[in-house]
Structure 1
Amino acid sequence: MCDFLNILTTFFHYYGADDYPLPYLEEFSFTFHVLVSIDDDTNNQGTIINAYYQQPNIFIPGKKRYYGTGGIILQTLRRFISSIRCLKRFHLNNLLLGSNSDIGACLDELLENSCETLEYLEILNYTSNIIPLYIIGLFSNLYSLSISSHSLSDDVLLLFANHLIHLRRLNIIQDELTIPCRYSDSIWTEIDIILRENKREWCIRMVTKGKCKNEPYWPTSPAPVRAIVYDTSLIRAVQTSMYTCMEQYSRTLEIYVSNKKKTD
């Protein structure tokens, strides 16, 4: 993968900034294949991964270790993203960054070259711990955002309401790599006031998917939750959950669906 990205980066640099070779390139997607090991006395997978990643980012819930990206792979990815420009759609998933020095990686480069053109951003499990991503508030023309709950906070949500004037769709995604986060009740009242004053609307979708076994923390009313989706076979949509959601979002909820497909 690194060799391929290096070839593409060299291709872009060959033409230079004044003769950008792919002016119609609008979308880039990268999902890191997270490696998983189970803690036991005989497991030596961690040694192998340490040798490969140099300084791996490790997320440890229970007995499982999830190894995020870093080192050479992250550096290569950053160089490539810095060479592309004017993207409209960008997907960056499962980096699980853990080092403070890495925070902002890839997003800084994206901001430099696609700040005004980016309309859709999907950034899931960017970090391995709770770190609010304020930088997203700088993408001024963002229309749709899909993001993990642990990349948000009260202040970040308020930043979006004040500065992302084109934002309409906010998808809060939770899977097995996501840390469930709760936001204060009062923040949704503040956001509701801001949106009403500026005659704007948000459509929030709460999505639980993959191998996730935990219910999300439900935003309180007047959060504009319009869709609740269980895209997992590991959580059952029970009556208590249904009643809670219907009571909380009686004025906004349009979709409540449970997709019980098998998860490998």
Structure 2
Amino acid sequence: MLLGKEVFESRFDAHSVTRKTAYVALEKQTIHYAIFDIPGLIENSESNLEENKREIYRAFYMMPDSIIVFIFGTSGGRINCQDVAAFKAMNVAYGFDNKSLLLIVNNIPKERSDQYENEIITILIRALNIEFQDNVYFMDQIPRQNETELAESRDDLWEKVKTRESHLHNRKMDITLDKDRLKEVKKKLESLEEKLQILHEHQVHSYEKLENDVEQIRKTLEGVMRKKKTK
């Protein structure tokens, strides 16, 4: 998306499409960037998982002073628990600096509820245990043939990237991830989503009650005014 053309391999697939770390160098408004494409962390195959770890290590070895752009996939509007688990595992290993982080929630329908973005930000902050610094970007679903909207979205994304600060990320420990940790993350996400749903329903109920109270007051005042006129 940032490059404005297909450079890295990308397709809908059950497994990580990227197998080897790759990067493209470019200049944007006199600033030099190297954009890395690294494999997704989680795989069903243990050998693929270890290979992905090695490629992630290689990317940070090549460019330790960096901005971290992490993409979260969604399903039915819900954050992918595997992406959350992968982020947490990498964050423990590298200790990401909050000022260097840009979190992208990918491929979101344009038609979404008013509270959706705030709810997703709340879920990410609590699930990832990070400080929010206006560093979440929601990527709309845009048809590939709509070049105008794609260009506008790309410009918006670059503006967001420019708000982040590059920091040195050295590996403190190996990346570790097991099935129990993945189950734990999934359970936590489901709990957060359930709590937010209850809160939303309570807010809707409170708003409806307020509207009813206002309507009752209005009717009472109208009744009082009619009585005054008859006198």
Normalising by structure 2, we get a TM-score of 0.31
Larger relative contact order, structure 1 or 2 (CA cutoff 8 Å, min sep 6): 2
Normalising by structure 1, we get a TM-score of 0.28
